[in-house]
Chain A
């Protein structure tokens, strides 16, 4: 997925003004997800769970080298092959080489944000391989040639009517078909794809170092088929997705499902531990785990941003975010959108590439309350903003205005005079021509100052 973050202002405006159905669909779905998450948190001691999960991930991230070595050794002991990808290109080359070795012509995929991040599908298609996304939402988007707009619900920005129209056109379903009929039509296509696929590609929600187990959470059963039916299973896993022990996984499976969808646990949890042990046994003949860095080590070394690596990709921060709800994910311009994208993307891509995402937030703090691993997203946004100011990535007028405010605010008489003049000026028609106030007054009436300031009232005596 190409990076279009710098177009955020334009793309968010377009989403709001020109595609009102996106806002309706996204707000409706995220409000419902968020309510389920709140209820599911309320059923358990969510605060303690979240603190525990934060601690486990912090321990993992501060001992990542040890756990990566342990995971590799365990996976190999289980008969899986381990590959290391420094960046997106290496990740693609590893998968392409595996596909070539097995003369793969057709691939089925489970939903994976990491494969979006490394732009795997276009590379496979260029190599002449047929790629089937098998998650229903991803399948819809593949037909439309659109990237996912949400970590958990990739097609969350689509309405039922849009899918009915698409499926009637492409799969010859009844234009008024209900969601069950639409899912059945997709299933008919995908069943054949599963049976004919030479290779199954998935991501990985977790990788347990102790046992070399890739854990995958889903609700549709397509990942179960992707990991078990084709002869070869390739799992791309970000290096931060490790968990130390199997007992940690028990907690994370429950917490992640509650955070993501409000479920006590996903409908399907697949634990992939290696290939079939003997011919004729269940499971693929080969299992390959590709451990992908692609900027994660840089994030880990960053003074503040490393905390974002605790992320389990549940999407809870997107669901609760009032900003995300207005525009959906595409406006953000890259794979990871919403609050977590705004703190992770600057780390993975570099801050310059990710501007202005750290500013695409009102700092309302709802994301922190929702986050199952307590990533302090508002604080991370602020530290990215600070870095942006220091590197001169923000408008100089903005920096000058705020420096001026600080100067005035430490000189009370100057401050009082400036504030009074500024307020009165801000209420006049001329204000509509001032840089910042003109932006304000495009969508809002100008604020009306009080007839007397509080200072004047105080001097007169308050009765």
Chain B
């Protein structure tokens, strides 16, 4: 199957290796991956701020970029939700709404695509023995209803997904919310971090959530390691193959980079 990757702003700039891992994973599963170069921002920042005219402009652009793609995959539940759920809502003209609905049907978050479209549940044994906590982005959980998919894939690759009291609670990112209501936003992150069980990694399919939790965790000196779901799933296939991920990801500049490092905390 031909799959267009919609990398998303945050993954392009902060989780580039995770996005590359998504490409590796999709190729491994038999997909031909393309990257339409004219893609930009899905428009969610404007949509969430109540600036729907601006959001529509960005939606129009994105719909044009991905118009002829057989399937569109995003390494982000939040941006996938923007395309799948909010584009059809934003389009006022009937024919545009129909086009948005058609794109919505062909658009998937990564884990959603693997399980619901490809029907794959077992990736490999690469995560055997690894204890992870899963932070589900709110859009992935409550809009896309990916209530089981990421955990099934992680467990299918041998990971132990450890119960976490606040697993389904919001991390407090919420885009604009994190800068407009910064104290409350940080308090939400604290609630997540305070209730976190002992794990090797915290895995999330949304870069925004990782920026928030990792940023707060580093400010507190927590030493928690965050891994993007795309990287975790690719490791599920591939294991480590003798590769030092931390070096690969950070270019040797940081001990750990934003949520991309795979070094075990032991």
Contacts and interface: CB of A to CB of B under 8 A. Distances in A.
A325 B192 CA distance: 12
A327 B184 contact: yes
Interface string B224-265: 000000000000000000000000011101100110100000
A462 B173 CA distance: 30
A406 B54 contact: yes
A447 interface: yes
A448 B258 contact: yes
A387 B188 contact: no
B32 interface: no
Given A322-B172, A412-B40, A440-B178, A382 B48 contact: yes
Interface residues of B, number: 75
Contact of A442 (B7, B17, B182): B182
A385 B218 contact: no
A406 B43 CA distance: 7
B12 A362 contact: no
Contacts of B182: 439-440, 442-443
B46 A405 contact: yes
B143 A365 contact: yes
B187 A453 contact: no
B138 interface: yes
Contacts of A420: 13
Interface string B49-63: 111101101101100
B43 A409 contact: yes
B61 A409 contact: yes
A402 interface: yes
Given A356-B180, A412-B40, A454 B46 contact: no
Interface stretch (A8-16, A77-85, A183-191): A8-16
A410 B257 contact: no
Contact of A410 (B37, B40, B216, B253): B40
A415 interface: yes
B170 A419 contact: no
Contacts of A398: 49, 176
A323 B48 contact: no
A248 interface: no
Contacts of A408: 40
Contacts of A450: 13-17, 249, 257-258, 260
A304 B14 CA distance: 37
Contact of B177 (A359, A394, A409): A359
A415 B254 CA distance: 28
A405 B216 contact: no
Given A363-B174, A389-B50, A443-B183, 19 more contacts: A322-B191, A325-B191, A361-B174, A362-B178, A383-B50, A389-B51, A402-B45, A409-B43, A443-B216, A444-B216, A444-B219, A450-B16, A450-B260, A453-B16, A454-B12, A454-B15, A454-B20, A455-B7, A456-B16
Interface of A: 9, 12-13, 16-17, 23, 27, 31, 322-323, 325-327, 356, 358-366, 368-369, 382-389, 394, 398-399, 402-403, 405-406, 408-410, 412, 415-416, 419-420, 423, 436-437, 439-440, 442-458, 462-463
